[in-house]
Structure 1
């Protein structure tokens, strides 16, 4: 049907008023995309008089970059014409008479007459809506940026607070440690005063009384008595010296001034020499039995080892009765070497063994025997410095055995 007849039919069917007064742009094209009808609102949207559009191809209202795609969409639409919005999921743009572009929203509807298909387009200028949407998007983006910035600020504040909490907790822990250390020092001072007054009293009294008696022995016949009291003075002085040496050793250990210096030495020679050195303090009919198993060369610190051995043997002598035997055994293997010192003395209770290496600790059954309570503490510290271990096996009235082990492979 000719286009003019189509327009006549449309007008006769009463569509003219709808076209003229609709508040949406309406354009009808034929299958060749030629504009047959455009209402006043459509002309206003695109900057034309509606009459200017008649007979023109719809392409004049479409930006040039979309012409090819629009032609393809037209062909597909004519194959299956139906009512639907145009450009689903895509932004659509129209072109005004002055060449400017603007966003549009278009719905398509087919109109069939005598076998021919005509396309009616309903067009809305959505510039304002798009502007509002863009403003909302920008507002949301700005809001997201502000929220993100606030979140980052909050994260920073939380991290700062966490650091402050950690620092406060660390300061509290450090203060608690300092207070505990101060309490410990006060306790140690009290123990030291108590121990010193007790341990110093006996040798000082001996020195005083012997010195007084020496003044009385002036004749040749009194020489044996003078020698006896001189020996007592020398012994008491040595006792005081040993006590002071223990104090100095503890001080050096706690200040980290005790260094380990390894040398390759003969363990049999070392132990035999130390046994000979300490033999003069053996009680009546006490004896020491020493055996060795394995290679004789070891790596050790001779000064620290001497202190360990002398202390353990002197304890074995001190806490054992007359007519007893002290057994010493050294064993050298590929990985480690061991020192066993066993006595037949008063023994140590299980309760006391838990605190055996604490400073100033004295066993309940040893309070009547002279000692500072520092010896085993120093021994344990020296063993630790030499990467070794010390173990005590003991029963009350059955004697004690101390086993010290050291690695043969030195770890510096």
Structure 2
């Protein structure tokens, strides 16, 4: 390939990158006049190319920032280099219809024989900002709760001067609430990032698939969005469950039901959530009628099966077994996954605990804590049998659950 053909080839390549990029790209000259904008940028701002060519870049910036922006770009023109724009500041852009939206902007530059040009790479961060606002709102609510509890504590201290033991418990309670708030903010910020990024990238890509032949691609990204939203819901549900447990708001309702039917229905529903090639094997032995809280038991089964799938490789079996005999109900979930060390098994049921070999697998460290509390509320016992790289089996036993009569019971306390 000669030099001219190579240049032509490179030109086609750069043009393809420019036109197909999933972020806005705008090129301005030394006078800050727009010389080019890619299709993504035009859709983002609601213009056609002819409407922006040779217009000042300030047409895409809210009016209240115009004078300040002119000063900033003059400074940049004297010392041009590749860098983020507006570090430490909230940046906003304005569409043709007058609506504003938050953006992130990175700047680069190049020169040719005629002029100096600046390239702006623009990303709409509306979804991320909304998520950050929601997290901040949750944080504020938690802070308000801590403040309210602290006020209640001050009043209680005056009434409990003669009871040091009770006062000590209340102080410990406030400390735990503060820790729970801090851990929530840390874990939520980390765990929300991946699904939110997936939702954002899939949303951008769906916009590009416009033909009937690309329907399967749209469906793939829609499924990614649904899965990410479900993950966010599961994380929030875990925090809500812990909150209810900590506040003593869980009511246990014992009813008679068919445990084999319940667990079989759960395993069928969860088959679609398993990794590629994984399969659920369920078997039941003994009597079918038990007296437990069906809702709490369902949560336990779902969480254990979900963990077994998450910490196991593809194409592996997950075995679920229930046994009802002589007034004893036994549930076991077994996998052939990464296993748990003996040292980590001592802390499995602690709130927020993650095993040493689970650091790269998404999770809040709340699932087993919630399971242990639900098991305790139904007078049960949970046991873990595991070796590293040899799989894990969780066994839950309810001593006389099969012989109980239906009743409603509040949390122990």
Q: Would the TM-score normalized by the shorter structure come out above 0.5?
A: yes
The CA deviation at 1:169 is: 6.4
Q: How does 1:226-237 map to 2 (within 5 A)?
A: 226-237=218-229
Quote the Cα distance in structure 1 between the aligned partners of 2:171 and 2:247.
19
Partner of residue 354 from structure 1, selected from 332, 342, 346: 346
Does residue 410 (structure 1) correspond to residue 401 (structure 2)? The answer is: no
The aligned counterpart of 2:107 is none
Give the CA deviation at 1:219.
Answer: 2.4
Q: Tell me the equivalent position of 1:256.
A: 248
Shift of the alpha carbon at 1:323? 2.1
CA distance in 1, matches of 2:167, 2:254: 39
Q: 2:364 aligns with which of 368, 372, 377?
A: 372
- 1:298-353 Cα offsets, whole Å, 9 max, x none, are 11211111000000011011101112111111111122110111111111112211
| 2:292 is the counterpart of 1:300 | yes
**8 Å CA contact 2:277, 2:314 repeated in 1:** yes
Gaps of 5+ in 2: 1-159, 408-413
| TM-score normalised by length of structure 2 | 0.57
**Cα distance in 2, alignment partners of residues 234 and 289 from structure 1:** 27
2: distance between equivalents of 1:325 and 1:222?
34
Distance 1:281 1:184 in 2: 34
3-state SS of paired residue (1:362): coil
Q: Is the 8 A contact 2:385 2:393 kept in 1?
A: yes
Instruction: Give the direction of change, closer, same or farther, for the CA distance of 1:395–1:169 in structure 2 (3 Å limit).
Output: farther
User: Offset at 1:245?
Assistant: 1.2
Q: CA RMSD in A?
A: 1.7
- Following superposition, the deviation at residue 168 of structure 1 comes to 5.2
* Alignment partners' CA distance in 2, 1:409 and 1:388: 14
TM-score, with length taken from structure 1 = 0.57
CA–CA distance in structure 1, aligned partners of residues 352 and 320 of structure 2:
26
The structure whose Rg is larger is 1
1:334 and 2:338 correspond: no
C-alpha change, 1:168 and 1:260, in structure 2 (3 Å) is closer
CA displacement, residues 216-269 of structure 1 (integer Å, 9 cap, x when unaligned): 222223222211111111111111111111111112222222111122111111
Of 157, 163, 166, 1:170 maps to 163
Match of 2:213 in 1: 221
Match of 1:393, SS state, is strand
Q: Which has the higher contact order (CA 8 A, sep 6+)?
A: 2
CA deviation map 1:364-388 (0-9, x unaligned): 1101101111111111111111111
Equivalent residue runs for 1:241-320 within 5 Å: 241-320=233-312
1:182 CA drift (Å): 2.9
Displacement of 1:179: 3.2
Determine the C-alpha separation between the residues in 1 that align with 2:321 and 2:292.
17
Partner of 2:314: 322
> Counterparts in 2 of 1:150-165, with a 5 A limit?
none
Where does structure 1 differ by over 6 angstroms across 4 or more consecutive aligned residues? none
